[in-house]
Amino acid sequence: MKKPVSFLFSIFIAMLSVVYGQKSVVEDNMADAKATAETKALFYNLKNLSGKGALFGQQDALMYGVGWKGEYDMSDVKLITGSHPAMFGWDLESIAKDGTEENQIQNAEKLKGYCLQAFKMGGVNTLSWHVQNFVTGKNFYDTTKCVSLILPGGEKHREFTRSLDKVALLIKSLKTEKGVAVPVIFRPFHENTGNWFWWGKPFCTAQEYKTLWQFTVQYLRDKKQVHNIIYAYSPDRISGNFANYMERYPGDGFVDVLGFDDYYDFKDLHDEQSIDLAVKSIGQICAYAISKNKVAALTETGQEKLVQPKWFTTVFNKIMNDAEASKISYLMVWRNAHTGHFYSPYPGQQSEDDFKDFYNDPKTIFLKDLGNIYSLKQLGLLPN
């Protein structure tokens, strides 16, 4: 048994308040009041985790790992711990960009298969969107002015809505054989405080960015009637300056998860000042999220190639030992592509033992620790 029974029992007791009269809290604080029952349950259960534990997730975990690709029910995380991560990150780039319709359909079907697989296992899906520049047709790193031109009235607005139509079609198609819509956490236009994407801070005004985000939510939620989405806002590192975080925040009515991405501050365990600053930032975001009945998360982080073997336990302990930062509900690391680009250990890698210690920490939540996180009747954390 990995998790102490007392830990699980306390969470179960806390969840009883949902069943007895607090369901309105969910609807009142979500961006989509018409969200499906499973989507509402996921939102509330993530929110209720605050201060009790954090789900661990990884990008593309089921698709491939170091030395393998396309093998069913495999992940590098599972090869080390015996359990998949609790959260699975995917990207929508391949289904919404220009290209042959046949390729887009094939990519959408492949992505749909992974999302359904993760859901049926009891895991949580989160979708990022490295979307092409609609002005030049080049990739997301092309910073040619774009945002103002894809807003309503802009000359490239129709191109943008065509891509949103593809996103809506994919997410609405995520249904089980019984017709249950699979909830997803949608995290578009991320790291918007940086200068590397066309939606970044130097390339659009704060108001343009807010309008872009708000239009996206309204288009998917109201026009396309997609109701299985939890919306996550995730700028890049804020260096302890919460005003930077809020400068482009699109508003409580359009956001469910408040997160941020931070690789830089966690890249060197010897740089305690940067780590402390990142932990402070997490705490600031947690405090605001909790005050608004939202979910707080570290939406992307990690150390490429894990050159310091104690990275996972050191960083997680720093976060969990902070009174505010410890209230995050989940953290995600990036993908394992090959030996030159990976963020979780693979068998034989020097961080393997540390990652097992991270897995065995009572406050880390992997797939084996989850019961039914899509039910309001229970949080669903069960002992192994």
- Tokens 């002992």, residue? 383
Amino acid at 339: T
| Alpha carbon distance 263, 267 (integer Å) | 6
Active site annotation includes 191? yes
Chain centre to alpha carbon of residue 217: 16
Q: Which of 191, 208, 247, 352 is catalytic?
A: 191
How far CA 10 is from CA of 7, 13, 14, 16, 381, in Å, comes to 5, 5, 6, 10, 10
Active site annotation includes 101? no
Q: Are strands 68-69 and 229-233 parallel, antiparallel or unpaired?
A: unpaired
Q: Which of 177, 272, 300, 352 is catalytic?
A: 300
| Alpha carbon distance 177, 157 (integer Å) | 35
* 74 contacts 65 by C-beta, under 8 angstroms: yes
SS3 187: strand
Nearest in space to 234 (alpha carbons), one of 277, 291, 295: 295
The residues that are catalytic are: 191, 300
